[in-house]
Amino acid sequence: MRSVHKSQPSHKRKEPGEDPAAKPEIDDGQIDWREQTFNGGLTGPVEKVSTPLELITQLRMVMVDIDPKYLNPMLFASGKGSHASRLYHKTVSLWLDRHPLGKKAEVRHTGSGLHALFHLEPIVVFGNTADRDRWAVVVRAVQNALPSDPNAPGLTALTRPIGSTNSKNDRKVKQLRAGEPITPEEVLRFVDELRRRPFATVAGILHGADRITPCPVCKADGSTLAARDRVGRCYDCGTVELVQLFGPLMSPPSTEGEE
């Protein structure tokens, strides 16, 4: 009989990073296990730990699913390791380090992609449906602040436990960054920042500046994109909307396999 285990808070884990000798969190035989980002944080087979939205009463972490197949291959075109490993070291680590909230994210290499996990302490307990609906919007806002999987679930998201095996490629799930807990208030402040200054906030995360040369949209020689609160301005391509800021980083889903 396939069992279900209670997950331990990730900030108590030792960071195995890329070390293949690091001790896994769970046994080798546990293939394609999942870990709840909600309720009790249970780990186990997906059919055991998946939960309908209406039965979710607590939020333990916010998960951002960053999948190389949706991103411009130039973001991970060179270097050693898998697409996801290169993507983290060349690009995603920079995005996270450019914002105080991102610096606290745990990052797992899931075998094919990356999960950035924002662990909440204390855990958010939903007193009613309105609370859950509110946090569903909050989770989506955090997910949309990064170039992430557009089809990823929100409150019902499941991550992969460290040490489990991804059956698609027989890779073990590894922790690339340990992270540290954040308070719900920190998450709400970030979402309020996104509400007030969406373009400037995202531009700061993706490019590390409020003036970007050359403009990442038109890429014209000598062009500069000025990141204002809600839009960008470029003398060459004019007004730049937030969706255009993501455009150069995204690509149609790739059908190519991992190397």
Counting the structural domains of the chain, the total is: 2
Do 103 and 229 fall into the same domain?
no
pLDDT of 161 reads 97
Please give the share of the chain, as a percent, with pLDDT higher than 90: 83
Which residues, other chains included, contact 160 with Cβ-Cβ below 8 Å and sequence gap of 6+?
32, 33, 34, 35, 108, 110, 111, 115, 166, 173
In 3-state terms the chain splits into helix, strand, coil percentages (rounded to 5) of 30, 25, 45
Which residues, other chains included, contact 141 with Cβ-Cβ below 8 Å and sequence gap of 6+?
191, 194, 195
pLDDT of 6 reads 59
Residue 257 in domain? no
Joined together, the tokens standing for residue 224 give: 């500069």
pLDDT of 253 reads 74
Do 190 and 100 fall into the same domain?
yes
pLDDT of 3 reads 54
Alpha-carbon distance of 98 to 205, in angstroms, equals 5
Low-confidence ranges of the chain (pLDDT < 50): 1-2, 8-26, 259
Residue 43 in domain? yes
Name the amino acid, one letter, at 190: F
Residue 256 in domain? no
Q: Which residues pair with 174 in a beta bridge?
A: 109
pLDDT of 78 reads 84
Do 43 and 118 fall into the same domain?
yes
- The verdict on whether omega for the bond into residue 122 sits within 30 degrees of 0, i.e. cis, is yes
Residue 205 in domain? yes
By residue range, what is the domain housing residue 235? 197-249
Do 206 and 186 fall into the same domain?
no
